[in-house]
Amino acid sequence: MFILQVTLEKVLGITAFGNRALACDPRSGLVAYPAGCVVVLLNPKKNKQHHILNSSSGHMPAVRVWDVAERTQVAELQEHKYGISCVAFSPNSKYIVSVGYQHDMIINVWAWKKNIVVAANKVSSKVTAVSFSDDSNYFVTAGNRHVKFWYLDHTKSSKVNATVPLLGRSGLLGELRNNFFSDVACGKGRKAGSTFCITSSGLLCEFNDKRLLDKWVELRTSQATSLSVTDELIFCGCADGTVRAFSPVNLHFICTLPRPHCLGTDIATGCQPGQYHLFSHKMDARCPDTVAVSYDPASRWLSCVYNDHSLYVWDVRDLRKVGKVYSALYHSACVWSVEVYPDRVSDGRQPCLPPGSFLSCSSDNTVRLWNIDGHNTTLSRNVISNDLQKIIYMDNNTAGLLDTECLNSGNGEKADPQTSETRTGIRTMCVSPDGQHLASGDRTGTLRIHDLESMGEILNVQAHDSEILCLEYSKPETGLKLLATASRDRLIHVLDAEREYSLLQTLDEHSSSITAVRFAGKVRMISCGADKSIYFRTAQKSDEGTVFTRTHHIVRKTTLYDMDIDPTRKYAVIGCQDRSIRIFNISNGKQKKLYKGSQGEDGTVIKVQTDPSGLYVATSCSDKNISIFDFYSGECVATMFGHSEVVTGMKFTNDCKHMITVSGDSCIFVWRLAPELTISMRQRLSDLKQNGKPVQKTPPHKPCNLSDKEVEEEGIEEEDEEERVSPYMVSGCSAGEDTGWYLTNIQYQSK
């Protein structure tokens, strides 16, 4: 089996929870931060990204060292049992210090080129930050009621191969001993003997060379999170988008930097960027809180991450006239769905959105419009993002735009993925085939319709008693304009989009949550759900209008999680709990094929998606991996990994060049498909267009060993309905099998 190359081209997201997950390289100007299980290396000036993907398997936490230029792993250091809260290079590049989660309680000092621990000790407090001294002789850890100085004995470390005890001395905190110290940075230059800390309550503190808390100043903020120290400046990240600069010599206040955008800003209105006052802020407007700051002394740029998952790079060469070098704004919570805007809208109407546009919806209660093609858009360019064109806010509650885990995950541990489950937010969406309307459904059962030309809301109705799990518009060739809504409340509503979305019919056959509903040719409707049932229905004309009547009812032994219809409208492709893909003939309801839908041996197939030509089907598994299979043979042709949570949505782009995936990790990944895949898909699309009907030809891939009663393309339906998953051999290692590795720490090696 030959696996084709799929390349991660663009990441629209950031999951940096603090300074331990943001770093600047003074030699290249690159800014590094995590997005799920990927490290993004951003060139802010050129708006170019490179990516480091963890391809290692296994569940042991590891400190990984990467060659930035080659983007290859050069060391893997495994000693921690539960997870790693922070890491740091020593300035002389000989050592790496790693601090485990509080369950682990271990601090390790690595001679990383030899892959050995030269010194170690236990720590009794929750540690959130670590910083090496300028001379590499000691480092300092900070956390809950904790500032501790750890000393390296270089003579022992270099000569003895065994691990020696790490000598630690507590900082003398005095009256501040009950504070939470959220960040620490050792002084530089003439202040190399000092150590600076900030408390979450808003104090900037200085320890002298005797470990004594010598002096402190108030930051005048409700919360302080992050610190960046040079020999000339101290930058403190605070609440409400505030960053304050101080002198390390005497802790005198110098200035406050510009704040980022206000929460709830309509970025599509655009604004003329000034040099200092980039945005005009209303008196009662709130900005996102600063969660990470990192200073690049070479370019004199300051990178800031905020808790609405936005990133700004400020030019601070002149603190009286601060300018913006780069900014980006991403979803702050689980992204549930992605929709590609149709390339050819029906009814001969003008498209509302430019080519290459796609939309995403999230638990942060927004729908966001993206365009990464660089086309001249119908929406005005904005000063906040090069990729994000518009944010549709579903309500005025700006608190939902903030990732509270950014500030609450002071222990350095991975946030609970269930947190996003409890939030309100947009759960699913669908664009009408004519490109005019966007339907979205939220977790409370509210259905909204937006006009994509004006971006205004034209309908808001409580359609269901619980969350809407699927929305689907009927196909243009049916001559009808219907919208089906399916929910956890076990009901399907069929609405007439031509008559202001009036209710045509409610279907209540399912006995559990409905996971997918799809329309097919000749006005057929197929639905599946957690009750393990598939219902096939056909539209009938009646005095009341169009109604759907059941024609087939299939029950399987496994939960059915997602469904897609192939472009010929002949087949329904269903992803199942037992990691299988089941393909059904829509006209007679019989199962046609059955093959493995995941490369791994664990998990569940969560999502399935066919490409525009119908040659391939993509699946996402609960093990966080993505696979692309030959639709007819079941052979795996490509695999992808990099999300740190379950992939909740996938779409192939109209030009067959890319696939877009979205995830519970709040990130959107844009993958470039192998040229072989693109060429095959485009050829099939051309054949379909010329013939005006499905191509009766087996694609040029070796078929896998399916059951005896199944043949290549058309196959023979299983007469006995017996279910069998036919195994096939996979050569080599399944790359990225463990994407449970979650990157929380980044630091550049000093030179």
Query: pLDDT by residue (tens digit) across 438-490?
Result: 999 999 999 999 999 999 999 999 999 999 999 999 998 888 899 999 999 99
Is-contact 397 423, C-beta < 8 A?
A: no
Q: What is the DSSP string of 539-608?
A: EEEETTEEEEEEEEEEE-SS-EEEEEE-TTSSEEEEEETTSEEEEEETTT--EEEEEE--SSSSS-EEEE
pLDDT at 157: 56
pLDDT at 56: 67
What are the Cα distances from residue 324, in Å, to 30, 45, 301? 16, 10, 9
The pLDDT tens digits of the residues spanning 99-122 come to 998 788 899 999 999 999 999 999
The pLDDT tens digits of the residues spanning 663-720 come to 999 999 999 999 999 999 999 999 988 877 544 443 344 334 334 333 333 333 443 3
Is-contact 475 521, C-beta < 8 A?
A: yes
Give me the mean pLDDT over the 338-367 stretch.
88
Flag whether pLDDT at 736 surpasses 70: no
Give me the mean pLDDT over the 625-633 stretch.
94
Is-contact 8 710, C-beta < 8 A?
A: no
The predicted model scores a pTM of 0.90
Q: Which of 282-286, 348-352, 635-639, 689-693 has the highest mean predicted lDDT (pLDDT)?
A: 635-639
Give me the mean pLDDT over the 308-316 stretch.
96
The pLDDT tens digits of the residues spanning 365-424 come to 999 999 987 655 555 578 899 899 999 999 888 888 998 777 655 433 444 444 444 457
Looking only at the bridges linking them, the beta strands covering 636-640 and 626-630 are antiparallel
pLDDT at 750: 59
Weakest mean pLDDT among 223-227, 364-368, 739-743: 739-743
**Alpha-carbon gap, residue 429 to 443, rounded angstroms:** 12
> How wide is the angle at C-alpha 212 spanned by C-alphas 206 and 216, nearest 5°?
30
Contacts of 251 (CB under 8 A, 6+ apart): 204, 206, 215, 216, 217, 234
Residue 543: pLDDT band (50, 70, 90) is confident
Question: Any long-range contacts for 74-83 (C-beta under 8 Å, 24+ apart)?
Answer: 75/112, 75/113, 75/115, 76/115, 77/108, 77/110, 77/112, 77/115, 79/106, 79/108, 79/117, 79/120, 80/104, 80/106, 80/108, 83/412, 83/413, 83/414, 83/742, 83/744
Q: What is the DSSP string of 241-274?
A: T-EEEE-TTT--EEEEPPP-PPTT--GGG-----
**Alpha-carbon gap, residue 53 to 477, rounded angstroms:** 43
**Alpha-carbon gap, residue 563 to 619, rounded angstroms:** 10
Flag whether pLDDT at 265 surpasses 50: yes
Domains of the chain: residue spans and CATH: 65-268+286-329 (2.130.10.10)
pLDDT at 407: 61
Contacts of 408 (CB under 8 A, 6+ apart): none
**Alpha-carbon gap, residue 98 to 89, rounded angstroms:** 9
pLDDT at 380: 58
Across the chain, mean pLDDT equals 86
pLDDT at 741: 40
Q: How many CB atoms lie within 10 A of CB 588?
A: 11
Altogether, the residues listed in the chain come to a count of 751
**Alpha-carbon gap, residue 111 to 109, rounded angstroms:** 7
Residue 82: pLDDT band (50, 70, 90) is confident
The pLDDT tens digits of the residues spanning 1-37 come to 578 899 999 999 999 989 999 999 988 889 999 999 9
* Distance from chain centroid for Cα 321: 34
Better-predicted residue by pLDDT, 691 or 123: 123
**Alpha-carbon gap, residue 486 to 376, rounded angstroms:** 36
Pick from 606, 494, 589, 590: which is nearest to 546 by CA? 494
pLDDT at 382: 83
pLDDT at 103: 82
Flag whether pLDDT at 636 surpasses 50: yes
Cα-Cα-Cα-Cα dihedral sign, residues 102, 103, 107, 110: negative
